[in-house]
Amino acid sequence: MAVHELSRRSLLRSAGAFAVPLIGTARAAEPYQQTRVPQLKGSAKSVVIPTHEFQGNLDERLDFPADWDVQVMHMKGYGAPVLSPQQIAAAIAKPIGTRPLREIAAGKNTVVITFDDLTRATPTYEMVPHVLAELKAAGIKDENILFLGSFATHRPMTAFEVQKKIGKEAATRYAWLNHHCFYGCKEIGTTSFKNKILINQTFLGADVKVTLSGIKVHYDAGYGGGAKAVLPGVAHIDSVEYNHNVLLRQTKTAGPVRVFKNEMRLDMIEAARMAQVDFSVQLMYDQKLRPIQVFSGDIVEAHHAAARVASKTYCTPTLKGADIVVSNAYPQNAQAFHAQRWINQAVRDGGTGVLIIQHPLTLDPVHFLNNRTASRSGASYYQNVARRVASPLPRNTGLIVYSQYMDRTLMNNYPGGTHFATKWEDVIRILKQRHPGSSVQVAVYPYGGMQHQEIELDG
């Protein structure tokens, strides 16, 4: 993902006489996908970005005019060594704050293992074989292991999606269920923050409760993972709404990278303690969704240990005042607003942001808590769209949304004046019109959906 000066001669040497490899110029979900593109004309600066998480994991080449100053803003942990399966197994076998899973599960009968959905980039399939090996060592039978989707008020997953998340072998050999936030939940108490906690009764009924999570910045709960696998993960929508809406409005302690003194997170921790989670695995991953750190054990202590490392790994410098800020929504394309924050933070007044959403899902319109909240406003769908379109872009900036999967549902979520492009050459054409001349500074956040600013932990 570095910037390269590419000439016709160097391209011919590196890629053959007709084309260079890459890019996602055809849709990943379709057959006969194009994997090569014509050689560049003349010379240009090129940046390679990852796209299509869980949908082929494609790389895409972005070409910029050769005379532009293009800077790729990598996270501090870029280039961290990738863990081997043996290293993952060793980390799971040496937990923090609790006994090894094989000891916890010994003599027990039933086990439930939670996992997040495809809106989260966690490569859960990297953890699953090693967790199952621990359970096998404890004598747990395959038919007594259940995987439970832990995705709060998101939509249920399909069998194909579950295979992508936990691996095809696990998804076919072991039973799995979706969590449903409207029913099948049991009240287990009230937190000190006055949140009445209702949790999935199947989760509560297991002899051994295991949660599998990924560590990525969350702009309210600090980081994903940890107790978040329980609340909101397998909680009733009423408990989630209190935590996400009521408590969040009442307190001023929530925010990105805040996990120790964050009252929203502390409410989650109390809920997880009430649910009596036995074992948790927290996975950190790189820009290609490969495992780089694993922390296992107590659902709170292991998460805190992961957060301390994550704050020094995912943090990324901000190039303030750039003429153009390009932010790639990977690996959270279904919630691209996370990556859009880089545009708001870095682009100069009158500059232009480019938001890249290269994923067939683009925007998942099903989020039961958001849908419930929106319905209470009394406004119709058309009124909500009209409000967005009427809202101007801030500071005389421009916004381009680049996606090969453009549809009206996606476009209706952006303010008036937003440009939409399905081809990268159209993005460059618009940028040249807005920024004529050669002294153009460009900041590229190549995996903006997982990068965060340089923020200190709150404890």
Structural domain spans, the chain: 4-76+317-453, 85-313
Look up residue 42 and give its DSSP letter: S
User: How many other C-beta atoms are found inside a 10 Å radius of the C-beta of residue 437?
Assistant: 9
Q: Is the sign of the CA dihedral 247, 249, 254, 260 positive or negative?
A: negative
pLDDT at 371: 87
pTM above 0.85, yes or no: yes
pLDDT at 292: 98
pLDDT at 89: 98
Q: How is domain 4-76+317-453 classified at the CATH fold level? A: 2-enoyl-CoA Hydratase; Chain A, domain 1 (3.90.226)
| Options 2.60.40.10, 3.40.50.2300, 3.40.190.10, 3.40.50.11440; CATH of 85-313 | 3.40.50.11440
Three-class SS of 91-154: HHHCCECCCCHHHHHCCCCCEEEEECCCCCCCCHHHCHHHHHHHHHHCCCCHHHEEEEECCCCE
pLDDT at 362: 84
* Topology match between the domains 4-76+317-453 and 85-313: no
Q: Is the sign of the CA dihedral 197, 203, 206, 210 positive or negative?
A: negative
CB 217 within 8 A of CB 223: yes
Report, as ranges of residue numbers, the positions in the chain whose pLDDT lies below 70: 1-43
